Structure 1
Amino acid sequence: MKDHKDIPVDWVSSCIDYNADSGVLTWKKRPSSHFKNRQAHSAWNSRFQGKTVGWKSSAGYLSLAIDEVKFQAHRVAWAIYHQSSPSGVIDHINGNKTDNRITNLRVVEFCENMKNVKRYSNNTSGIAGVRWYSQRSKWVAYINVDGKRKQLGYYALLDDAIDARKKAEVENGYHENHGRE
């Protein structure tokens, strides 16, 4: 099954209902023109019509397939709601990869999406962009700007390193949810 970025909006809109308030996608009754014969049409509709679309992928996103082509559900939701295929990355604002409510989705460039990611599981300070630097016995704060790591300084106190990082996040347009658990 191949992945597909460009979403045939008219086609998916004819097959799928999207509830923008709940984020749920459900199968509509598909027209007979989508099938090779009446038996396939009847079998598909009796099995899937009215059912929730898709499955949870190994990456944690909801995915779906239409005629052997895989789509991410949040991209399909955006396309149905706005009647156009999204031009960039779809960001789940609250970080929940299965929350496809339209109020939780926004189109951003990849670098902007990276300003709204959860804290890495191997983080030991509890704050993204702050770590203990044992060679100096100090906390170091850093931030990524335009794909490059920028060091913000070394600090004796964790709180000072956190303050430097938070200030840099604001200055560089990081989302308020960046670094959440």
Structure 2
Amino acid sequence: MKLTQQRLKEVLKYNPLTGVFYWVNPQAYCMHAGEKAGYLDRNGYIYIKVDSVKHAAHRLAWLYMHGVLPEKFIDHKNTIRSDNRIKNLRLATRSQNMMNQLKRKNNTSGVKGIGWDNKVKKWRARCQVDGKRQCVGWFSSLKEAEKSLIKFREKGHGEFANHGGA
């Protein structure tokens, strides 16, 4: 059975300003009305079990406020996966969701999308747009590469542009 907004509101109360869910009608003996609902998984998302089905809290927040579970992705604007305030959530395609990512942990330049090219002995700036990785260019200075990449990313990613920080 598909979860509805009505059923969700029978079981949980959502605070859109904090993004936190509370039990109204707990489904297990170990839960109590008024207690915070959900648990943080190892990837940083909050999950809540409703009617024996595990749901991502950000998707429940969308259902609670808008009445539908979206078919698309829901993006956390500030990239904090546990921040489920409704103002931090927006509908996104998979591609848009991927655009709003932080700099990777294995990044060696310190700037998202930029790496040193040993063959050319210059900084290479790359960015993915519409599923295709595009080379922005090779640059003598890291600052120059970063400046060009930011300009390119803002044009190609629009409101989903993320330059590596939250």
Kindly state the Cα deviation for residue 178 of structure 1 after the two structures are TM-superposed. Answer: 3.9
1:66 maps to which residue? Answer: 50
Q: Which amino acid aligns with 2:7?
A: W
2:155 maps to which residue? Answer: 171
Kindly state the Cα deviation for residue 47 of structure 1 after the two structures are TM-superposed. Answer: 3.4
Kindly state the Cα deviation for residue 90 of structure 1 after the two structures are TM-superposed. Answer: 0.8
Alpha-carbon distance in 2 for matches of 1:178, 1:13: 37
Aligned residue for 1:47, secondary structure, equals: coil
Taking a change above 3 Å as real, the CA distance of residues 159 and 111 of structure 1, as seen in their structure-2 partners, is same
Aligned residue for 1:121, secondary structure, equals: coil
Alpha-carbon distance in 2 for matches of 1:68, 1:15: 12
2:6 maps to which residue? Answer: 10
Aligned residue for 1:114, secondary structure, equals: helix
Structure 2: stretches of 5+ with no match in the other structure:
none
**Aligned partners of 1:23 and 1:77 also within 8 Å:** yes
Q: Which amino acid aligns with 1:8?
A: T
Higher relative contact order (CA 8 A, sep 6+): 1
Alpha-carbon distance in 2 for matches of 1:171, 1:107: 20
Does residue 144 of structure 2 align to residue 160 of structure 1? yes
Alpha-carbon distance in 1 for matches of 2:162, 2:149: 14
Deviations 1:15-34 (A, max 9, x none): 1100001111001036xxxx
Alpha-carbon distance in 1 for matches of 2:34, 2:165: 35
Question: With structure 2 as the length reference, what TM-score do the two structures score?
Answer: 0.91
**Aligned partners of 1:87 and 1:107 also within 8 Å:** no
Alpha-carbon distance in 1 for matches of 2:14, 2:163: 28
**Aligned partners of 1:94 and 1:177 also within 8 Å:** no
**Aligned partners of 1:133 and 1:139 also within 8 Å:** yes
Identity value in percent: 34
Equivalent residues, number: 165
Q: Please list every run of at least 4 consecutive aligned residues from structure 1 whose deviation after the TM superposition is greater than 4 angstroms.
A: none
Over aligned residue pairs, what C-alpha RMSD do you find? 2.0
2:22 maps to which residue? Answer: 26
Deviations 1:70-110 (A, max 9, x none): 10011001110112112311111111111111111111111
